[in-house]
């Protein structure tokens, strides 16, 4: 058991995965000597060598395309995309090849590739460094998508993603990278594709993942001060979504607000709202509401504080849901 940041937890997960399986490779831009721009791969090349921790040419399609080939040859590549906005040169390889090859081979080949993407905003960055493209991947059959919100999940979810035989798009909440938490390496991890009730409550359920879990926990704390009991579900997994856990929560609280940074229009919240409405129609006291980004490009950093869903916007939706 140790206190560590999400960066450190991810680093340990990579290290332990490489230790336990010689087929695990780490590849990406600047992952070697530099240790990645966020230092997630810090020290790995020194300890595992340039054959296993590979500084690639600056070409994302190349990174993912060769990871597919390496996987076909029995390796388990964990590739790093430097920032969310730079995954798109690789989008073709991910969608047309990585996602579909297992099915096309009638199950004969497996593609255990993990694509790590530091995602979402809040760090005052320039354009293309704050995007939330998760729905674009969750929409694609053949890919699994997950997003940890804390160090313990970061560690275990990455280990599980690497150990699994399906391609996983692993969304890392970059603005929480330096948040600390307990990691129990000898514990029994929760299933990768299960949600977790992060805080129990009775009046309304807030569902979130990655960077927004913290905001929702703070909102629940603030609401408690006003005599409202909010339950917070950390979804953890976006494809598949653990609707059972969510359904159980909503059947109890009868109200649901889904929170994410990504634009609301056709975002993951839209799918969750539709499914939960279907599953819990007779339990709901209010429509499922969504809080998220707008149908506009991610703004310049001086506006991001107002753009990003914060405590006020979450609580405003809570008010609206409770007023129905």
| Interface with other proteins, residue 141, by CB under 8 A | no
Question: How do 144-146 and 76-80 pair as beta strands?
Answer: unpaired
| Maximum CA extent, the chain | 59
Region near ligand TPP per CB under 6 A, out of 81-89, 147-155, 165-173, 275-283: 81-89
| Interface with other proteins, residue 21, by CB under 8 A | yes
| Interface with ligand TPP, residue 82, by CB under 6 A | yes
Map residues 170-209 to x or -, x wherever contact with other proteins holds by CB under 8 A: ----------------------------------------
Listing DSSP states for 82-148 in one string gives SSGGG-GGGHHIIIIIITTHHHHTTTS-----EEEEEE---S---TTSS---HHHHHTSTT-EEE--
| Interface with ligand TPP, residue 160, by CB under 6 A | no
- Are 212 and 309 a contacting pair, CB within 8 Å? yes
User: Residue 310's binding partner, choosing from ligand TPP, other proteins, none, with beta-carbon cut-off 5 to 8 A by kind?
Assistant: none
Is residue 129 part of the annotated active site? The answer reads: yes
Cβ distance to other proteins smaller for residue 11 or 150: 11
| Interface with ligand TPP, residue 132, by CB under 6 A | no
Helix axes 243-253, 268-280, angle to 10 degrees: 60
Q: SS3 of 196, please?
A: strand
- Are 9 and 151 a contacting pair, CB within 8 Å? yes
Contacts 24+ apart (CB under 8 A), 276-281: 276/243, 276/246, 276/247, 276/250, 279/243, 279/247, 279/250, 280/247, 280/250, 280/251, 280/254, 280/256
Beta strands in the chain (DSSP E): 2-5, 24-28, 53-55, 76-80, 114-119, 144-146, 168-173, 180-183, 196-199, 204-208, 230-234, 237-239, 256-263, 289-293
User: Residue 35's binding partner, choosing from ligand TPP, other proteins, none, with beta-carbon cut-off 5 to 8 A by kind?
Assistant: other proteins
The binder of other proteins chosen from 37, 95, 270, 311 (CB under 8 A): 37
| Interface with other proteins, residue 59, by CB under 8 A | yes
Region near other proteins per CB under 8 A, out of 10-18, 121-129, 134-142, 213-221: 121-129
Cβ distance to ligand TPP smaller for residue 89 or 299: 89
Cβ distance to ligand TPP smaller for residue 86 or 91: 86
Binding site for ligand TPP (CB under 6 A): 29, 58, 60, 82, 86, 89
Q: Which residues are catalytic?
A: 129
Binding site for other proteins (CB under 8 A): 21-23, 29-30, 32-35, 37, 50-51, 55-59, 61-62, 71-76, 85-86, 88-89, 107, 109-110, 112, 124-128, 165, 265, 281-282, 284-287, 294-297, 299-303, 306-307, 312-313, 316, 319-320, 323-324
């Amino acid at each position: 058991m140790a206190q560590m940041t999400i960066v450190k937890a991810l680093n340990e997960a990579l290290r332990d995965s490489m230790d336990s399986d010689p087929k695990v490779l780490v590849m990406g831009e600047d992952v070697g000597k530099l240790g990645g721009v966020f230092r997630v791969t810090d020290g790995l090349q020194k300890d595992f060598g340039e054959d296993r921790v590979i500084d690639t040419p600056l070409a994302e399609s190349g990174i993912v395309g060769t990871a597919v080939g390496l996987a076909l040859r029995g390796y388990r590549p964990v590739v790093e995309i430097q920032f969310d906005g730079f995954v798109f040169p690789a989008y073709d390889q991910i969608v047309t090849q990585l996602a579909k090859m297992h099915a096309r081979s009638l199950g004969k080949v497996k593609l255990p590739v993990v694509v790590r993407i530091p995602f979402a905003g809040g760090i005052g960055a320039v354009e293309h460094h704050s995007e939330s493209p998760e729905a674009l991947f969750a929409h694609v059959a053949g890919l699994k998508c997950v997003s940890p919100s804390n160090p313990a999940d970061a560690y275990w979810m990455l280990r599980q993603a690497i150990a699994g035989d399906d391609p996983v798009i692993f969304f890392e909440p970059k603005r929480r990278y330096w948040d600390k938490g307990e990691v129990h390496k000898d514990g029994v991890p929760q299933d990768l594709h299960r949600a977790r009730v992060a805080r129990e409550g009775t009046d309304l359920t807030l569902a979130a993942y990655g960077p927004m879990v913290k905001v929702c926990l703070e909102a629940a704390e603030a609401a408690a001060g006003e005599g409202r009991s909010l339950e917070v579900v950390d979804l953890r997994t976006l494809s598949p979504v653990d609707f059972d856990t969510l359904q159980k929560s909503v059947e109890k609280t009868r109200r649901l607000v889904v929170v994410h940074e990504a634009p609301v229009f056709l975002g993951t919240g839209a799918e969750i709202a539709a499914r939960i409405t279907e599953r819990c129609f007779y339990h709901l006291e209010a429509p499922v509401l969504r809080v998220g980004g707008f149908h506009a490009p991610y703004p310049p950093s001086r506006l991001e504080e107002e753009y990003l869903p914060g405590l006020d916007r979450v609580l405003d939706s809570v008010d609206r849901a409770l007023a129905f």
